[in-house]
């Protein structure tokens, strides 16, 4: 399960958590998200996200 960060605004997508409020169930793989999907906060295309390996603050 990987995490992706929007390089336009910093919005993060976590495959494990999904985005249920935007129709993406927990466990939805990045590769399975449509190519025309855009950042819900700033409209950056999917290609403008970067895979990151940054832990959550709450796990610190």
Where in 21-60 is the site for Zn ion (CB under 5 A)?
39, 41-42, 44
Q: Closer to another protein by CB, 4 or 33: give it.
A: 4
Q: How far apart are CA 32 and CA 42, in angstroms?
A: 21
39 binds, among Zn ion, another protein, none (CB under 5 to 8 A by kind): Zn ion
The 10 Å CB-count burial string (b at 16+, else e) for 2-39 is ebbbbeeeebebebeebbeeeebeeebebeebeeebeb
Site mask, another protein, residues 1-40, x = CB under 8 A?
Answer: --x-xxxxxxxx----------------------------
């Amino acid at each position: 399960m990987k995490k992706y960060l929007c390089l336009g605004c910093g919005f993060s997508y976590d495959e494990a958590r999904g985005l249920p409020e935007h129709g993406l169930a927990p466990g939805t793989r990045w590769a399975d998200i449509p190519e025309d999907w855009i950042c819900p906060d700033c409209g950056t295309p999917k290609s403008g996200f970067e895979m990151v390996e940054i832990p959550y603050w709450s796990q610190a």
